[in-house]
Amino acid sequence: MIHARALVIAADSKSRCFWCGDDEQYVAYHDLQWARPIVDDSALYEKICLEGFQAGLSWLTILRKRESFRKAFRWFDPKIVAKFNQRDVNRLIKDELIVRHRGKIEAAINNAHATLEIQKEFGSLATFIWAFRPKSSTCSKNKAPKRISDIKASTIESEALSKALRQRGFKFVGPTTMYAAMQSVGLVNDHFEGCFVREECAQQQLIAVKKMAKNARGNHA
């Protein structure tokens, strides 16, 4: 592999963000999921939960356990998870295929309740989350990060999102965790300049922004 700034050129001659390395599962995640807009509530709730579970761990660890997490948390349907009780907590703590951290497990259940409340107030979790998309998003090519140092651990927007979620009862949603979530669900496009999927993600982001703006107008009609 050849490192060019923050890119990796792999055997297929495609330039990718350096962080995915050559792990097949990580490369697939980079190519097909990361920074591609998510506007589905269950998928957004899943991302918030998994980013919380990642705290202190690598994302690759979570990625490798993702299908097990989905089965354990009933595919992250907040209506179902909100009904979990102590028996479910005990079941999850014994599940060796996920991260067995009581605080994070209980936070995921708590966050399901908080998600339902946001849906009542704003119409959808997506409407709420996408309102925190940076106005100067890295969607345009000339604002693509070029170096690792160009990407920060948190931003003003992730701090605002973190604060808003915590005010509504969410847990394990610190500013750094929320910026990672914003990157992964497409609120920002932090694929480095020259990454072969960057422009495609940018175009998908524009479509998602228009869709969310239309939904927001509908919710206020």
Report pLDDT for 5.
74
* Region 89-113 average pLDDT: 98
| % of the chain exceeding 90 in pLDDT | 86
* Region 50-69 average pLDDT: 97
Report pLDDT for 140.
44
Number of domains in the chain: 1
- Find the catalytic residue in 26, 34, 45, 51: 51
pLDDT tens digits for range 178-214: 999 999 999 999 999 999 999 999 999 999 999 888 8
Whether the pLDDT of residue 217 is over 90: the answer is no
Report pLDDT for 136.
65
Whether the pLDDT of residue 40 is over 50: the answer is yes
**pLDDT-derived band of residue 2, with 50, 70 and 90 as boundaries?**
very low
The half-sphere exposure of 7 on its side-chain side, counting CA atoms within 13 A, is 18
75 is catalytic: no
59 is catalytic: yes
We report the CATH number of the domain holding residue 166 as 1.10.340.30
The CA-atom distances, in angstroms, between 7 and each of 33, 145, 160, 179 are 18, 11, 30, 21
* Mean pLDDT of all residues belonging to the chain: 93
- Find the catalytic residue in 19, 29, 159, 200: 29
**pLDDT-derived band of residue 221, with 50, 70 and 90 as boundaries?**
low
pLDDT tens digits for range 166-176: 999 999 999 99
Whether the pLDDT of residue 142 is over 70: the answer is no
Neighbour tally for 80: CB within 10 Å: 13
Report pLDDT for 152.
93
pLDDT, greater one: 138 or 52: 52
Q: Which domain holds residue 139?
A: 2-219
Whether the pLDDT of residue 82 is over 90: the answer is yes
- In SS3 terms, the chain reads as CEEECCEEECCCCCEEEHHHCCCHHHHHHHHHCCCCCCCCHHHHHHHHHHHHHHCCCCHHHHHHCHHHHHHHCHHHCHHHHCCCCHHHHHHHHCCCCCCCCHHHHHHHHHHHHHHHHHHHHHCCHHHHHHCCCCCCCCCCHHHCCCCHHHCCCCCHHHHHHHHHHHHCCCCCCCHHHHHHHHHHCCCCCCCCCCCCCHHHHHHHHHHHHHHHHHHHHHHCC
pTM, entire model: 0.93
